[in-house]
Amino acid sequence: QVRLVESGGGLVKPGGSLRLSCAVSGFTFSDYYMSWIRQAPGKGLEWVSYISSSGITKYYADSVKGRFAISRDNAKNSLYLQMNGLRAEDTALYYCAGGPTSLQFDSWGQGTLVTVSS
Amino acid sequence: QSVLTQSPSASGTPGQRVTISCSGSSSNIGSNTVNWYQQLPGTAPKLLINSNNYRPSGVPDRFSGSKSATSASLAISGLQSEDEADYYCAAWDDSLNGWVFGGGTKLTVL
C-alpha cells in the first residue's frame, strides 16, 4: 500500500526557514518522480518543485526559485523541501506527490500546514 | 491567475452528464498530456484521469477525459452525490519548465 506522510510544517515568522519531509512506504521510492504541491487556504493547487527519481533533475516554480530547495534520500525513502526566506504568501498546505513516471502525480500525502505570520 | 483556465463552478442533478473544460496554450496542453485530479472536501487530491483519457485502477468508467489542440475536457456521466468535489486539470508547461494547474472547478450535485 502506497503511503506518503509529510511532516515539518508549522508557524514561522516572515524571513524564517522550515524543512519539510515526506516519508514514503509501500513502493520503491528510488523509482518514483516526486514533487511538492501546495494549496493556500481556500485556494487551488500550485506546483512548487519537482525532482527526478535519481535526484539529478530539479525544477522550481518561479514563485519559490532561489528560496526553496528540493532534495531526496533514496536510502531513507524520504523527500525534503528546504524553505528559506519565507513570506506570508507561502502560507499553505504542502503536499508531496509522485509516481513511477514523470507524467502525473499518482499518489499524494495528506499534507503539512505551513503558516508564515508575525 | 492560473495558467490553465477552468470555469469556477459546475452543477448537475443525479444521473445527469456534466462536462468540465480546461483551456491552455501550445506550451502546455498543446504539447503535453493532461491529467485530472479530484479533491473531495477536506481530503488530498486524487488522480482521476491521466494522459488525457486513461483511468487509473479503481476510477469508475463514468469519468472520461478528452483533449483537442489546447483544450481538454472531463466528462462525468450518471452523476452521483459523491462526485461533489473540486476538479483540477494539470499539464507540464515547456516554457515554464514546470507543472501548471487550472484554478479548479467546484462541482455541485443538486
CB-nearest to B44 from A44, A99, A111 is: A111
Nearest CA in chain A to B92: A103
Alpha-carbon span B48 to A59, nearest angstrom: 24
Q: What is the pLDDT of residue B16?
A: 97
- Report residue B81: phi and psi, to 5°: -60, -35
Residues in contact with A28: Cβ distance below 8 Å, sequence separation at least 6, in sequence order: none
Give me the residue from B46, B50, B98 closest to A103, CB to CB: B50
A61 neighbourhood in chain B, CB within 8 Å: 98
Q: Which residues of A touch B98 (CB under 8 A)?
A: 47, 50, 59-62
Q: Rounded to an integer, what distance in angstroms lies between the CA atom of residue A59 and that of residue A51? A: 7
Predicted pLDDT of residue B59: 97
> Is the minimum CB–CB distance between A105 and chain B shorter than 8 Å?
yes
Identify the pLDDT of residue B1: 85
> C-alpha cell of B44?
488530498
Report how far apart the first and last C-alpha atoms of chain A are (Å, whole number).
40
pLDDT at A28 over 90: yes
As a whole number of angstroms, the distance between CA B72 and CA A75 comes to 39
For residue A50, the chain B residues in CB contact (below 8 A) are: 98-99
* Residue B91: predicted pLDDT: 98
Which string of b and e fits B54-90 if b means at least 16 CB within 10 Å? ebeeebeeebbbebeebbbbbebeebeeebbbbbbbb
Q: In what order do the strands lie in the sheet with B71-76?
A: B18-23, B71-76, B63-68
Q: Which residue type does B50 have?
A: N
CB contact under 8 A, A104 and B47: yes
CA-based Rg of chain A, rounded to a whole angstrom?
13
Question: Does B98 contact A47 at a Cβ distance shorter than 8 Å?
Answer: yes
Report whether B101 contacts B29 (CB < 8 A): no
* Per-residue confidence (pLDDT) for residue A83, from 0 to 100: 98
Q: Is B78 on the interface with A (CB under 8 A)?
A: no
| Residue A53 near chain B (CB below 8 Å) | no
Residue A87, pLDDT above cutoff 90 = yes
pLDDT at B88: 98
Query: What pLDDT does A102 receive?
Result: 87
Q: What is the mean pLDDT of residues A57-83?
A: 98
Q: What is the pLDDT of residues B50-81, one digit of tens each?
A: 999 999 999 999 999 999 999 999 999 999 99
Q: Is residue A70 pLDDT above 90, yes or no? A: yes
Each residue's pLDDT, cut to its tens digit, for chain B (110 residues) gives: 899 999 999 999 999 999 999 999 999 999 999 999 999 999 999 999 999 999 999 999 999 999 999 999 999 999 999 999 999 999 999 999 999 999 999 999 99
Nearest-Å Rg of the Cα atoms of chain B is 13
With cut-offs at 50, 70 and 90, classify the pLDDT of residue A41: very high
| Shortest distance, CA B45 to any CA of chain A (angstroms) | 7
On whether the CB atoms of residues B8 and B2 are closer than 8 A, the answer is no
